[in-house]
Amino acid sequence: MNRTLLVTSSPRGADSLSTRFAIQIAEGILGHSGGSLAVRDLAANPPPHIAPAYIEGRITSPEERTPEQIEAVKIAQELVDELKAADVIVLGSGMINFGPSSQLKAWFDHVTWPGITFSYGDTGPKGLLVGKNVYLVTAAGGVFSEGAWAPFDFQTNYLLHLLGFIGLTDVEVVRVEGTVLGPDALQAAIANTETAVKSLLAKVA
């Protein structure tokens, strides 16, 4: 049975295009392939920013952890367990100040866990979350896939790096961009993304 994990992170709620299209992809995959869907809304339920209790707790043996460390590691373990259980991961991210939201960054800070989701060997770091399909939806007000603003896309490339670092290298990227360049540009961006999503889901069927 296919298990899909949908992770959304935009604080824009119902107005978020990254969330809208991530949901569309997740539900489309579910409709084509069946299985189960787990949802992690990082805007509605943000993970805490990492603190000493987490940094120290994850390298402390379970029986020696303080209550604060136990709780901090428990949060991270829950997020990692969701990732491990998923066959398909759909991740939505809206650009904020040229990068992902702090909620999404905090999520990655919890799931990027030495010895759990990546390890170091003779040839360098090795991602441990392998054999999963990822669909990454990134939204931006400007156009960052090409042109003068491309060097300032610290969202898509950064997320691809983090995903790959923990072993998630089979990634399809769907961009929603140019949404603040006027009403016509917004409608064109939505139409282009609708087409991209339909094409993507046709390959899943």
Of residues 205 and 164, more confidence is placed in 164
CA angle 12, 17, 19 (to 5 degrees): 75
Strands (DSSP E) contained in 88-203 are: 88-94, 118-121, 124-127, 133-140, 171-177
pLDDT for the residue 205: 65
Structural domain of 90: 3-204
Residue 16 marked ligand-binding: yes
> What are the Cα distances from residue 80, in Å, to 48, 66, 180?
15, 21, 35
Question: Region 77-106: what's the mean pLDDT?
Answer: 96
Tokens representing 57 are 């707790």
| CA-wise closest residue to 166 among 69, 83, 105 | 83
Length of the chain as a residue count: 205
How many domains would you assign to the chain? 1
d(CA 134, CA 25): 11
> Is 97 a residue whose pLDDT tops 70?
yes
Residue 119 marked ligand-binding: no
Helices marked H in 61-182 — which ranges?
67-85, 102-111, 156-165
**How large is the angle between the packed helices 17-33 and 183-204, nearest 10 degrees?**
20
pTM: 0.94
Percent of the chain with pLDDT over 90: 89
Residue 17 marked ligand-binding: yes
| Structure confidence by residue, pLDDT tens digits, 142-157 | 999 999 999 999 999 9
Q: What are phi and psi of 150, to 5 degrees?
A: -55, -40
Three-state SS letters, 49-84 = CCCHHHHHHCCCCHHHCCHHHHHHHHHHHHHHHHHH
d(CA 56, CA 143): 41
Concatenating the DSSP letter of every residue in 6-48 gives EEE--TTGGG-HHHHHHHHHHHHHHHHH--EEEEEETTTSPPP
Residue 10 marked ligand-binding: yes
What CATH number does the domain containing 175 carry? 3.40.50.360
Q: Are 200 and 135 in contact (CB under 8 A)?
A: yes
